[in-house]
Amino acid sequence: MAGGENSNRAAVILAGGDGVRLRGLVRNMTGQSVPKQFCSLLGESTLIERTRRRVEMAVAPGNILYVVSQSHEQHYAPLLRDVPPGNVVVQPANKGTAPAVLLALLRIAATAPEVSVAIFPSDHFLSDDGDFMRHVQLAFDAVEQRPEFTVVLAMQPSHPEADYGWIEPAEKVGFGAYDLYRVRALWGHPDQQQATQLLKRGCLWNSAVTVGRLSTILGMIMVTARELYAAFAPLRAKFPHSPSLRNIAVVYNDLPQMGFSEHVLGGAAVNLATLPVAGVRWANLAEPARVRQTWNQLGLKPLWSIGS
């Protein structure tokens, strides 16, 4: 973790996924099988590069960690060649976002246990990065005032999307001029009828961008994902020195797939808040149809290529 400006704020970019649902589209467009976050699907920059630039609007570059998977080294190494090695968290395999988040948070906690942390997927499209990151900064302000809260940014839905997670807001929490709400419930991938009802009830899309105090999020994992936290005990003992990939592999071998939103946030609604983001178009680029829709909105030609 670097010192200096905004040294009390850190970020984790999750880039260890395999991009299974986009594998066919990427192969057809590029002739290669590459995880989507390392591809230039929306212009010249790869998705991870776009995410990096976005996050650097609110967090000092030296305070950003990148979680990647070992098998993707040929793809992430050129893109992260200027990132300090200690800021690249390598997993032996992709076991979902919950282990990835926990591994990164333990790395941060070893040297900067008092920070606030924002967690970002690396495969999202946003029509206005600056406005979105302004909301992230507001979320940082909120958790620094009320450290018991963890804030999830929510996007205004345009239709009843069944493939997205949804957030059902409850009462407003006072934080000055902007609206923060307690979370009544999280809904993961409802069917079409449920999604229609959620839209009618004023629910919002879950962006999965999460901001909280480091200690609060670790405490949340301890409560909602006890077995996962316990499995990491051998690694916690290794810090502040980074555990070797072999040490991490011993832990990862027996882990099930676990999603952070489903298994951690979903069990902690009592201390969960949401910050709605209005006026920014958002898409999770997990499906070929959604990539094509975003490409059409941007007026891009289908000349997608692997990032250099």
Tell me which residue of 45, 58, 51, 40 sits closest to 14, measured CA to CA.
51
Amino acid identity of residue 287, one-letter, is E
Between the CA of residue 220 and those of 18, 22, 277, 280, 282, what are the distances in Å?
26, 32, 24, 29, 27
Note the pLDDT of residue 306.
Answer: 39
The pLDDT of residue 14: 98
At the fourth CATH level, the homologous superfamily of domain 9-306 is Spore Coat Polysaccharide Biosynthesis Protein SpsA; Chain A (3.90.550.10)
pLDDT of residue 288: 84
pLDDT at 4: 44
Residue-wise pLDDT for 214-246, tens only, equals 999 999 999 999 999 999 999 988 887 788 999
Q: Name the amino acid, one letter, at 285.
A: L
d(CA 107, CA 247): 14
Radius of gyration, CA atoms only, the chain:
18
Q: How far apart are the C-alpha atoms of 273 and 292, rounded to whole Å?
A: 32
Question: Any idea where the domains of the chain sit in the sequence?
Answer: 9-306
- pTM attached to this predicted model: 0.94
Counting as low any pLDDT under 50, the low residues of the chain are 3-5, 303-308
Q: What is the pLDDT of residue 182?
A: 95
